[in-house]
């Protein structure tokens, strides 16, 4: 494809500023729904680059608009961090105890900062919206952004994003049309019985047996199939609690948390119905209360959005078989409203897994991701010109 405009060259000063920003964001992480300070930092920098800035989008979301035109391309990054204690690591490690950027969202934001810096030097010949989305980790952010009336001001025609992926060579690309990340949701189950003295358990009603039956029964709803199989399903027990930690009390309550996972949304409804029926039957004597949490849509790459990223990643090393991945990404919800695609960029074969206390986004990935997005903008503009 044609070379980028000279003004979009990612010079050393821009990349240094992007790295400094990532380290700053890494030091002050904020969990989903509480990204007020992160949003403030991003909005300030986007204004400094001359962008039209929309704040408070779906909560703490920030949109930076560059250029003008009949067509709009949206590129998304995430604001939030995880409620995980970061292991002792870099000098810029988290200063917020129990919270860390252990999924790479700090790197994704820094990548868009580099893109914004280039666009500030020469406006694109189309409208580009850089969306810094809140609450990705809980699955709530994309839904809140789409429901916000301010999103009507953006009205993108197409959306793209990237996510780093450990265990792939640094800078290698995983990209395809079709499903790339699973649908998932969490069920929280509460069982209520009656406590008694531990010396007379027969005078109470312990949900212990029901809990012990539910754990393997729910796990058995999984299917031992490859992730790319349309029938793939996984039911994972993530937390269980029985009574209180005491030697003198026979338990009177229990809690169980499970995560359901399928390749497509269409399969999720059936899996959830089976799980609910199993819970209601197995624990009927304990009036099970079931609540729904962290609902993620499947992520399915649309052909036209994927083609844009294909053009933008020409010449980069490719990895086959890495996607679809089992983890979920709430960017997929945008794909239910407009053509959208996500590419996955290798963050190193020796890199710790996402959500690991030792994870740290590699700074070397920032220029690779930023150039991909700039090339995507260039290709999008060329496509719009051909339509005209």
Q: What is the pTM of this model?
A: 0.94
Q: What ranges do the domains of the chain cover?
A: 6-180+298-387, 183-296
pLDDT of residue 35: 98
Q: Within 13 Å and on the Cβ side, how many CA atoms surround 103?
A: 25
| pLDDT tens, the chain, 388 aa long | 458 999 999 999 999 999 999 999 999 999 999 999 999 999 999 999 999 999 999 999 999 999 999 999 999 999 999 999 999 879 999 999 999 999 999 999 999 999 999 999 999 999 999 999 999 999 999 999 999 999 999 999 999 999 999 999 999 999 999 999 999 999 999 999 999 999 999 999 999 999 999 999 999 999 999 999 999 999 999 999 999 999 999 999 999 999 999 999 999 999 999 999 999 999 999 999 999 999 999 999 999 999 999 999 999 999 999 999 999 999 999 999 999 999 999 999 999 999 999 999 999 999 999 999 999 999 999 876 566 5
CATH architecture of structural domain 183-296: 2-Layer Sandwich (3.30)
pLDDT of residue 387: 63
Distance, CA of 372 to CA of 223 (rounded, Å): 37
Tokens of 196: 């008694």
Distance, CA of 75 to CA of 370 (rounded, Å): 11
Distance, CA of 146 to CA of 297 (rounded, Å): 13
pLDDT of residue 382: 87
pLDDT of residue 384: 61
Q: Report the interhelical angle of 36-48 vs 12-27 (nearest 10°).
A: 160
Q: Nearest 10 degrees: CA dihedral of 184, 190, 191, 194?
A: 170
The CATH number of domain 6-180+298-387 is 3.40.630.10? yes
pLDDT of residue 374: 98
- Which ranges in 155-264 belong to alpha helices (H)? 208-219
pLDDT of residue 383: 78
Distance, CA of 188 to CA of 242 (rounded, Å): 14
Give me the sign of the Cα torsion angle 139, 143, 144, 150: positive
Q: Do domains 6-180+298-387 and 183-296 have the same CATH topology?
A: no
Distance, CA of 62 to CA of 298 (rounded, Å): 24
Tokens of 142: 């994309």
Length of the chain: 388
């Amino acid at each position: 494809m044609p070379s980028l405009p000279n003004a979009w060259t990612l010079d050393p000063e821009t990349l240094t500023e992007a790295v400094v920003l990532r380290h700053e964001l890494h030091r002050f992480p904020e969990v989903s729904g509480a990204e007020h300070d992160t949003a403030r930092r991003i909005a300030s920098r986007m204004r400094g680059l001359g962008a039209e800035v929309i704040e408070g989008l779906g909560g703490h979301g920030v949109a930076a608009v560059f250029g003008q035109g009949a067509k709009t391309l949206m590129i998304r990054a995430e604001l939030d961090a995880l409620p995980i204690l970061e292991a002792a690591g870099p000098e810029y490690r988290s200063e917020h105890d129990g919270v860390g950027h252990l999924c790479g969202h700090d790197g994704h934001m820094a990548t868009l900062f580099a893109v914004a810096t280039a666009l500030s030097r020469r406006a694109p010949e189309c409208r580009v919206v850089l969306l810094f989305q809140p609450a990705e980790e809980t699955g709530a952010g994309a839904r809140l952004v789409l429901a916000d009336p301010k999103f009507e001001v953006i009205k993108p025609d197409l959306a793209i994003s990237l996510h780093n992926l450990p265990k792939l060579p640094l800078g290698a690309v995983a990209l395809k049309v079709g499903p790339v990340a699973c649908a998932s949701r969490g069920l929280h189950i509460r069982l209520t019985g009656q406590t008694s003295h531990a010396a007379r358990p027969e005078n109470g009603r312990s949900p212990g047996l029901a809990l012990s039956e539910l754990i393997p029964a729910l796990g058995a709803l999984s299917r031992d199939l490859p992730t790319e199989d349309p029938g793939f399903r996984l039911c994972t027990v993530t937390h269980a609690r029985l009574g209180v930690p005491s030697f003198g009390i026979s338990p009177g309550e229990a809690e169980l948390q499970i995560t359901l996972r399928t390749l497509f949304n269409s399969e999720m409804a059936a899996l959830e119905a089976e799980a609910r029926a199993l819970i209601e039957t197995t624990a009927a004597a304990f009036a099970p209360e079931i609540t729904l949490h962290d609902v993620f849509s499947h992520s399915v790459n649309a052909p036209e959005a994927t083609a844009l990223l294909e053009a933008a990643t020409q010449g980069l090393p490719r990895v086959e078989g890495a996607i679809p991945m089992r983890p979920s990404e709430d960017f997929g919800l945008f794909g239910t409203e407009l053509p959208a695609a996500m590419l996955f960029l290798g963050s190193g074969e020796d890199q710790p897994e996402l959500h690991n206390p030792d994870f740290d986004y590699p700074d070397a990935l920032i220029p690779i991701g930023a150039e991909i997005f700039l090339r995507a903008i260039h290709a999008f503009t060329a496509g719009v010109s051909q339509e005209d």
